Structure 1
Amino acid sequence: MGKRKRETANKIKEARRELTFAKLKNVPSSPRKMRLVADMVRGVEVFKALGLLHFSNKQAAVDVEKLLKSAISNWEQKNGKKAENGELYIKTITVDCAPMLKRLRPAPQGRGYRIRKRSNHITLYVDTINKDTKDA
């Protein structure tokens, strides 16, 4: 690796150390269904988002709620203090496609229909509200 690439990589690593995030991989739900829940909580304060997710009818909300609790815990570990009401918000939440399982279902006259069992990866970044107002 060249010097310029190494320096750029180190800058990216340093910038990522400041961020607090949590990842959930290979969730057995389609990305389209998961994005409906992700759009519901994007940019919302974390404790309000926990309430939205807890009382949501969608099955995907259970996975996102678990991930959000993990991200809050990661932030508390990194900063050494408890998260207070109104301090944290969901900065970004992304839902990406994961590898899909391809299966065959028997069909009439000796044919087979394809079934694609989709799954997804979720990445959730949490940040403090006060930090953004100081920078602006």
Structure 2
Amino acid sequence: MIRFIVPSIILVISVIYLILTFNLPEAKVGNPTAAMNYPLLIGFSLLGLSILYILSEIKDKKKVFDAYKIFADKELTIQVIIVLVLCLGYTFLFERIGFLISTVLFLGALLFLINGRRKWLTNIIVAVVFSTASWYTFAELLSVSLP
């Protein structure tokens, strides 16, 4: 029964997402439903994939389910928790200090977590170059407003 928890949660999230998408306001200019096209594509894709996930779990019901054993590794569990905290911190800082600085800090912290301190120069270069290139692409080339 535990193998159905994740696909069921994804199914519920996709249904809620679709309900919220259908409640989006219509555009005042151009096609009134144009703003819903991409969110609907994502919502229906998520719904379809969650149904496929449930069906694959039903098909594999006889197989031994031991995916939860990965959490027996305490070091890995701590790393997962740290990544979740970093993601929360990134979302908190994103609006307050802007895209560029918060992304450099977030990527830098993730790279130091994954690569360790020995590759400090590589970690810093990758974080700064990727963040700057992303900012330049969106803000300057595509004229997308970033915080």
Range of TM-score over shorter length? under 0.3
TM-score between both structures, scaled by the size of structure 2: 0.26
Larger radius of gyration: 2
TM-score between both structures, scaled by the size of structure 1: 0.27
Greater helix percent: which structure?
A: 2
Structure with the larger RCO, 1 or 2 (CA within 8 Å, 6+ apart): 1
Greater strand percent: which structure?
A: 1
